[in-house]
Structure 1
Amino acid sequence: MSPDGYPFLKGHGTENDFVLLPDHDGAVHGDLPADRVRALCDRHAGIGGDGVLRVIRTAAVGEAGAGQDAEWFMDYRNADGSVSEMCGNGVRVFGRHLAEQGLVDPTGPVPVATRAGVKVLAFAGGTPDGEITVDMGIPKVLELTSVAVGEQEWDALHVDMGNPHAVAFLGDGASLDDVGPLLDAPAHDPAVYPAGVNVEFVVRRGPQHVAMRVHERGSGETRSCGTGACAVMVATALADRAERDTEYRVDLPGGTLRITWTADDRVLMTGPAVVVAEGQTTL
């Protein structure tokens, strides 16, 4: 590493925030050790973030990018340094950076490779500004399970959006405050989620309108989770027996996402993304 450090950027999507590391040919960060990720994400001694997005060409990332038809790969790490398959807010921030730097053409579809496969981004108005819609792929609706916080327990639906989610509805008249603090991972069945799970707690706000809180594995409670919002939308649409192509509004502590489960079984997520700072770090 240069004595002057290496470049970084900071961005967020609905206040789910990330450190971005440009490493286009994989020459700067090697395997991106977990202790460096933890140092970067430390909100007191580092830059601060819910995770790290390494911006690397798919050809340079090795086995994780094999067979994926996209120039760029989002190498995502949770704040604790663990590797994650996918991040819905992160991929919008990742795409915003690529477009602002002229590394992709925002007038057409922008494919981004991830450990959960290629996600295709569409930029509103065909410019680097404005909201971004991501084709999050085909959801997998799996078994019914349960999650618990302290002595409270809720039924939950296992939905896989390229990463695992447990979606729990709190019921009529309930408040999201009822689940208490989400600093520690809610208890879950390790047989169902051997690699851990992202847990979403949901209340209804109106027709096609819900609000949620989330505990993300490896990061704790975050202000927003894009894949989690998609899982919540799928679970809610199933409970409502909603027709496909019905748009849902999902409110999170950090903002709002609009999500549609299409007639051809794709989940489309639309929301903001912004890069707020850039600099050099020696962390």
Structure 2
Amino acid sequence: MSNLVKTTTVQKQKQMLPIVFMLLAAGGLTSLLWLQPRWLWTQLSPWLCPGATFFVETEAPMVALTVDDGPDDTDTHNANTTRQILQVLKKYDAHATFFLIGGRITAKNQSLIAEMVEQGNEVGNHLWADEPSISLPLSTFESELLETQRSILEAAQTRDKPVRINWLRPGSGMANRDMMKVARKYGYRVALGSIWPYDTLIPSSRFASTQILGNVRPGAIVILHDRGDNGEWGKRTVKTLEQVLPELQRRGLKVVTLSKLLEQKPSRS
């Protein structure tokens, strides 16, 4: 009888092994999705966006904040989330690189772009429409890059400082080598990021704040979003920043633009 029990136990253990391995694999994937380790971005770079900047290796107490998909269009809804984001950045003496979509720049929100620059923020190129850049023909990619550049510069010029667009972020974070060559042709550097709190997928500013604060370290590039349906992404970003920025201040981490963070990068790299 005892031999039968032992045999049955062994059989059950063998049957459980695939389940255990599946759970371990799922747990490992969950950890990767949560932690977003830098080595993972380095490995993914050739397939996602070859040559893009994901983070900066530095001990300087700085992190870059980037905000995609603005400016907010007040024709769509009442809450101007771009202005609210600017207000919360000013409140905590933080700065960001705003990756703007050319087709969303209107007569009503042009002044916000000049306000970004006057406040010490940076403007970046996010092409003409909210769509995956990797799906665009190369000629369309190039023409949209230039058209968006013209629209941003026209809106961003101020009397006090000349405006230059240094950064491009392709739509959905993917571009091929030919697209990267086009970007370099016009003097652009391409940036993605090392911390994305899934803010376009998970409708929770608490989740986003916890994910950012749990993984942030010097040299990180944080990705958040403006707009969204009825301004939901932008509203969530305002709430997230209200939670994250004072804590980063407490930790002694300064929130800066991409170009400011890249000043910490050794020129040889």
Normalising by structure 2, report the TM-score: 0.26
Normalising by structure 1, report the TM-score: 0.25
* Greater RCO structure (CA 8 Å; 6+ sep): 2
Could you say which structure has the higher helix fraction?
Answer: 2
Could you say which structure has the higher strand fraction?
Answer: 1
